[in-house]
């Protein structure tokens, strides 16, 4: 793969919830990110703000970013519904004018904006709408069950709590143990990191499970396929994607991701259902088709002290009887053991 020089745009949204894409790229493509553009935080330290990105400068304009010779502007935050904030258009226009390609994972396609499309074409620049892959037209049939590979899916009690990170870390750990592993991204950040894949929430609803199934079958001969989960079964905004993915992948084992400090599901007034309820529900939705178990819990202990984290991990172990780890703070070795055993 070509080494990119990426400037990430997060202006107005530089926090752990909104700037998922930024944080994912900073974590997994650290050598490729040369700057972050965010007026409110220019000059501050990324590490303090979002826990990753040590040494990458935050700048306040496209002009300042140019000192670091970026060749890509990546829109690094997500918004409910995935629409482009009007204010960001200006940055995109300036980036194209400065000779950068622009990468977006929003539902609103940059290529559908006639002025941006014309400007890009005239300047010989690329607008890569990660969500605008080939239109999927495959209905799921349950045939992912036939893969030689053991299929692992990370699922969540909510959105935005570590399903992608857990899948990438787990795939890495299995590979380090000498196993042949494919990581299958299913969201915009995962696809940007890997450089290919289908953003599953942008697929027509009838074809969600079929698209997931195809992605898994493509890697069916590996030892393991680790698939990035999406949404949450009990989140009223994103449950359709979560269930379509579950029934497309038909995993042999699941890792349930959870943020213990969250009292309500994101952007809702709905109290967070328990780990047990989530485990039961995932297993119930697989039972008639391909029975499988949740074999481990990935807790997101961001912001917790050491002692609190270990208390929370140990409570979850007692309560669920499962392997529990924080992939960032305690690593995924135990979860990999559980996947291999389970």
- In Å, what is the CA distance from 337 to each residue of 170, 253, 314, 324, 328? 10, 12, 18, 11, 17
> Which residue among 56, 103, 208, 227 contacts its own copies (CB under 8 A)?
208
Site for its own copies in 8-67 (CB under 8 A): none
Q: How many residues bind its own copies (CB under 8 A)?
A: 51
Q: Could you tell me which stretch among 77-85, 147-155, 172-180, 189-197 binds its own copies (CB under 8 A)?
A: 77-85
Q: Could you tell me which stretch among 13-21, 204-212, 297-305, 329-337 binds its own copies (CB under 8 A)?
A: 204-212
Nearer to its own copies, 104 or 323 (CB): 104
**Contact between 341 and its own copies per CB under 8 A:** no
Instruction: Outline where DSSP puts E strands in 66-186.
Output: 72-75, 101-104, 127-129, 150-156, 181-184
> Which residue among 20, 41, 72, 107 contacts its own copies (CB under 8 A)?
107
Residue at token pair 């699922």:
155
Nearer to its own copies, 160 or 323 (CB): 160
CA angle 170, 175, 179 (to 5 degrees): 115
Tokens coding 67: 């000192």
CB of 267 to its own copies, least distance (A): 7
CB of 337 to its own copies, least distance (A): 29
CB of 46 to its own copies, least distance (A): 29
What is the dihedral sign for C-alpha 8, 9, 14, 19? negative
Q: Could you tell me which stretch among 33-41, 59-67, 217-225, 242-250 binds its own copies (CB under 8 A)?
A: 242-250
Residue of 167, 195, 197 lying closest to 183 (CA atoms): 167
Q: Could you tell me which stretch among 11-19, 26-34, 36-44, 279-287 binds its own copies (CB under 8 A)?
A: 279-287
Contact 202, 245 (CB under 8 A): no
CB of 177 to its own copies, least distance (A): 31
Helix axes 239-249, 208-217, angle to 10 degrees: 40
Query: What's the CA gap between 128 and 133, in Å, rounded?
Result: 10
Query: What's the CA gap between 18 and 302, in Å, rounded?
Result: 15
Tokens coding 236: 């009223």
**Contact between 210 and its own copies per CB under 8 A:** yes
CA 185 to chain centre: 7
Contact 140, 212 (CB under 8 A): yes
CB of 326 to its own copies, least distance (A): 24
**Contact between 78 and its own copies per CB under 8 A:** no
Query: What's the CA gap between 86 and 92, in Å, rounded?
Result: 10
> Which residue among 6, 203, 226, 312 contacts its own copies (CB under 8 A)?
203
Q: Could you tell me which stretch among 49-57, 137-145, 168-176, 253-261 binds its own copies (CB under 8 A)?
A: 137-145
Interface positions with its own copies (CB under 8 A):
80-83, 107, 137-142, 200-206, 208-210, 233-244, 246-248, 250, 267-271, 273, 277, 280-281, 284-285, 287-289
């Amino acid at each position: 793969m070509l080494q990119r020089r990426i400037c990430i745009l997060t202006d107005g949204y530089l926090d752990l919830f909104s700037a998922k894409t930024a944080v994912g790229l900073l974590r997994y493509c650290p050598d490729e990110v040369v700057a972050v553009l965010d007026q409110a935080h220019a000059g501050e330290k990324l590490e303090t703000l979002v826990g990753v990105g040590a040494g990458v400068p935050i700048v306040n304009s496209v002009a300042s970013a140019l000192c670091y010779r970026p060749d890509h502007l990546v829109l690094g935050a997500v918004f409910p519904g995935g629409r482009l904030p009007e204010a960001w258009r200006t940055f995109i226009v300036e980036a194209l004018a400065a000779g950068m390609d622009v990468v977006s994972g929003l539902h609103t396609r940059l290529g559908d904006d006639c002025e941006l499309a014309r400007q890009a074409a005239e300047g010989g620049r690329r607008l890569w709408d990660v969500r605008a892959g080939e239109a999927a037209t495959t209905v799921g049939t349950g045939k992912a069950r036939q893969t030689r590979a053991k299929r692992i899916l990370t699922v969540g009690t909510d959105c935005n709590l570590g399903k992608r990170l857990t899948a990438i870390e787990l795939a890495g750990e299995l590979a380090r143990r000498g196993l042949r592993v494919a990581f299958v991204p299913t969201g915009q950040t995962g696809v940007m990191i890997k450089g290919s894949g289908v953003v599953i929430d942008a697929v027509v609803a009838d074809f969600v499970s079929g698209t997931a199934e195809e992605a898994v079958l493509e890697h069916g001969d590996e030892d393991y396929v680790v698939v990035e989960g999406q949404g949450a079964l009990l989140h009223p905004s994103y449950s359709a994607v979560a269930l379509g993915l579950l029934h497309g992948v038909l995993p042999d084992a699941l890792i349930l991701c959870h943020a213990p400090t969250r009292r309500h599901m994101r952007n809702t007034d709905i109290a967070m259902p328990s780990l047990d309820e989530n485990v039961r529900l995932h297993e119930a939705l697989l039972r008639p088709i391909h029975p499988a178990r949740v074999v481990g819990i990935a807790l997101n202990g961001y912001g917790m002290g050491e002692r609190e984290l270990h208390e929370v991990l140990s409570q979850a172990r007692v309560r669920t009887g499962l392997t529990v780890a924080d992939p960032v703070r305690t690593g995924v070795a135990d979860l990999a053991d559980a996947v291999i055993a389970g």
